[in-house]
Amino acid sequence: MKLGAVIITMGNRPEELRALLDSVAKQDGDRIEVVVVGNGAPVPDVPPGVRTVELPENLGIPGGRNVGIEAFGPSGADVDALLFLDDDGLLPNTDTAELCRQAFEADPKLGIITFRIADPETGVTQRRHVPRLRASDPMRSSRVTTFLGGANAVRSQVIAEAGPLPGEFFYAHEETDLAWRALDAGWMIDYRADMVLNHPTTAPSRHAVYHRMVARNRVWLARRNLPVPLVPVYVGVWLLLTLVRRPSLPALKAWFGGFREGWTTPCGPRRPMRWRTVWRLTRLGRPPVI
């Protein structure tokens, strides 16, 4: 299988970006073609052979990645699968690309692989980086219903059938939007503990827009993808979970602002999943109400 890699950068991590590119170049097997997208910023120096695209404005994470996809032809058609990697990540093992090829070749219905993210110093995988409800054992591989945005591999055929990432989301939950559409199209998603991306332990709330966009995009996610009876259930469950977690007053104010925005602003095209996909998600351990 021919692999490509899409990396978006704000240009503020030149050393980490270079280390990531070196780790991609060291992968076993055929060479991986790489595109680095400067998301509203110049791209730092990159090794020869690495293609670059510099955008005049920051299109957000999904928007930037979509530009990277199209650099490999319509829906990434010039390659069989694309790796999406955070610019401050690192592939510590040289067999990750080969494992991806083997996994995709062995299972024609496998559409997306999500890697295990581990802190480079401690080796610890944060619970939030295990994309399933039973997340206590990050070393257990399994079928899952979503994937991690900056540590994954996606067949280009999935993008052709299910569509690109939702650019209007800008940040947060864009992976689940694509995952639900891929599952509805008949594809499967695997979490693989043996495919590792090293990434420093961070809190998602470090982003100033975190609370607003998490809330807004939860509502958009439901409005775009769920059958009508499940929309208020899904949104209501996440409202209760947010209140139980007792965020700070400023965070809660930002969250409710995003929640309101999610209901009052356009969310993009609506393509509700079939009820058999709802059942499929439920059998996989995560019904689309949480």
Amino acid at the residue 161 = E
pLDDT for 253 equals 94
pLDDT for 208 equals 62
Q: Which 3 state secondary structure label does DSSP give 244?
A: helix
pLDDT for 202 equals 80
Give yes or no for a contact between 144 and 130, defined as CB atoms under 8 angstroms apart. Answer: no
Residue 230 to residue 227: CA distance in whole angstroms: 6
pLDDT for 203 equals 76
User: What separation in angstroms does the CA of 211 have from each of 26, 249, 257, 260?
Assistant: 38, 11, 9, 12
Could you list the pLDDT tens digit for every one of the 290 residues in the chain?
Answer: 999 999 999 999 999 999 999 999 999 999 999 999 999 999 999 999 999 999 999 999 999 999 999 999 999 999 999 999 999 999 999 999 999 999 999 999 999 999 999 999 999 999 999 999 999 999 999 999 999 999 999 999 999 999 999 999 999 999 999 999 999 999 999 999 999 999 999 877 655 689 999 999 999 999 999 999 999 999 999 999 999 999 999 999 999 999 999 999 999 999 999 999 999 999 999 999 98
Residue 25 to residue 233: CA distance in whole angstroms: 46
Amino acid at the residue 226 = L
First to last CA, the chain: 35
The residues near 59 (Cβ < 8 Å, ≥ 6 apart) are 39, 40, 66, 67, 167, 170
Give the tens place of pLDDT for each residue, 139-183. Answer: 999 999 999 999 999 999 999 999 999 999 999 999 999 999 999
